[in-house]
Amino acid sequence: TAVDMQLYTKITIALILGVAAGLVANAFDIDPLTRLLVTIEPIGTAWIRLITRVVVPLVFASLVVGTASLGDITKLGRIGSKTIVYYMATTAIAVTIGLVLSNVIRPGSGMSPEGLEALRSNYMAESASRVELAQDAPGLADVLLNMIPRNPVAALAGGDMLPIIFFAIFLGAAVSAIPKERRSHIVGFFDGLNEACMVMIHWIMKLAPYAVFALIGAVIARFGLDVLRSLLVYVVTVLLGLILHVAITYSAALKLLARRAPLAFYRKVRGVQLIAFSTSSSNATLPLTMETAEDELGIEKEVSSFVLPLGATINMDGTALYQAVATMFIAQVLIGDISLTVQFGIVLTATLASIGAAGVPSAGIIILVVVLEGVLAGSGIDPAAGIAMILGVDRILDMCRTAVNVTGDLTAAAVIERSEYEHALRGGSAR
Ligand code: ASP
C-alpha cells in the first residue's frame, strides 16, 4: 500500500516538526525562520501538483473499468441513487450538528467589539475578493447541466470532475455493451492505465513527508496567533462539531450500515486524513483516497471508483458543518439570534452549497457567501463584513474540515459496498 506504517510515521513526524517550526517562528517573531519556511513552501506546492496530475487519468480509467465490469446499468443506477441519498443525508446531519452546537455554545455572543473591528478592517479587502469569486460560482442548476460536457476532451483537459465522471460512466456502459473480444482490449488498456496510476501514487507518496513539512510550516508561520485567540470559541465550536460528526455519525454508519469496526477503519485511513489536512484539498487527496479504499479497506473497485470521485466533488460534510457554524457565528455577532425557520433554511442551503463547492483549498468560504446572503438578506449587512471576521482562521479550519470530508467519502464507500453485498446475499444480482 502507498502509506505503510513507516511512511505514516514519517508523515506524522513531518507534520509535528512543521507545526513546531511554524509556531516557533510565529510566536517568537523570528523573521529568518519565517522566511525560510515560506521559501520552502513551493516544495509542498510542487508535490500537490504532482499528485493532482494523477487525478484525471486515475478517475477516468478506474471509472471506465468499474462501470464496464458492472455488467448491467440498473446496478449502476442503484449504486448511484443510494450514494447520492447517503451523501445528502450525512451532510444534512453534519449541518444540524453545527447548528445545535452554535445554539448551545453561542460562539458569537460575548465577542469584544474592538477585536472584531480590528479583524474586519484587516481582512476587508481580501474578503471582498472572496465575495466577488462567489458571484462567479455556478448555481446548482448550472452544476447539474455542466455534468454533460459539451466536449469531453475539454473536460478531461480542464480536470472538471463531474463531467469527467459522467462521461466515463457513459463510456464504460457502452464498453460493456460491445462484443467480448473487443471489450477486453479496451478494458485491458484502462486497467493498465489505472495500475500505472497506482504506481505513480506510490512513488509520489514517498515524497509526502517533505511536502507535508513544507506546507504546514509555512501555513503556521504565517498564521496569526492573535487572530486565533480572538476567535477561539468559534474555532473550538467548529472543531468540536467535526469531531462529533466523525465520532457519532460516521462511527454509527460504519458499525450499523457497513458492519465494520470504526476504530480499525479510522486507523487504516489515517494517512488519507493527514494528507487531506496538509493539502486542504479533497481533490489532491483523491488518488490516495482511492488507493487506500482498494488496498487497505478492500473495497470493490466498482463501488470505490464511482463513490470516491463523486464524493470528493459533491460530498463535503466538514465544509457544510463549518458553514453552519460560521453563518450562525456571523449572524450572532452582526444581527443577534436567528429564528428556527431561518436555521432550517441553513440546513438546506448549506447542504446544497457544499455540493457546489469544489474540493480545493478555501472553496468552502467562497460558497459560504451564498449561505450567508440568504441569512443576512434584508438586514442590510454586507456579507463581506461577515467573511472578513472569520477569514483569519480559515486556513486552519479548512485543513480540519477537509480531513473530515475525505473521511466521509471513505465511510460512504464502505457503506455502499456493504449494501451491495447484502443485496447480493438477499438474492439480488451476483457480485
Ligand atoms: N478544502 C475543502 C476540500 O477540498 C473544501 C473547503 O474549502 O471546505 O474538501
Query: Which residues' Cβ are closer than 6 Å to ligand 1?
Result: 280-282, 316, 319, 357, 359-364, 398, 401-402, 405
Q: For residue 359, which atom of ligand 1 is closest to its CA?
A: 4
List the pLDDT tens digit at each of the 431 positions of the chain.
777 889 999 999 999 999 999 999 988 989 999 999 999 999 999 999 999 999 999 999 999 998 888 767 788 889 999 999 999 999 999 999 999 999 999 998 877 777 777 777 878 888 888 888 777 777 777 777 878 888 989 999 988 888 999 999 999 999 988 998 999 999 999 999 999 999 999 999 999 999 999 999 999 998 878 888 889 999 999 999 999 999 999 999 999 999 999 999 999 999 999 999 999 999 999 999 999 999 999 999 889 999 999 999 999 999 999 999 999 999 998 888 888 998 999 999 888 888 878 889 989 998 899 889 888 887 888 888 889 999 989 999 999 999 999 999 999 999 999 998 775 655 444 33
Q: How far is the CA of 360 from the centre of ligand 1 (A)?
A: 5
**Protein residue with its CA nearest to atom 1 in ligand 1:** 361
CA distance 285 to 297: 16
Q: How far is the CA of 182 from the centre of ligand 1 (A)?
A: 41
CA distance 420 to 307: 13
**Protein residue with its CA nearest to atom 6 in ligand 1:** 364
- Cβ–Cβ < 8 Å for 363, 281: no
b/e 36-57 (16+ beta carbons within 10 angstroms → b):
bbbeebebbeebbebbbbbbbb
The grid coordinates of residue 257 equal 450500515
pTM of the model: 0.91
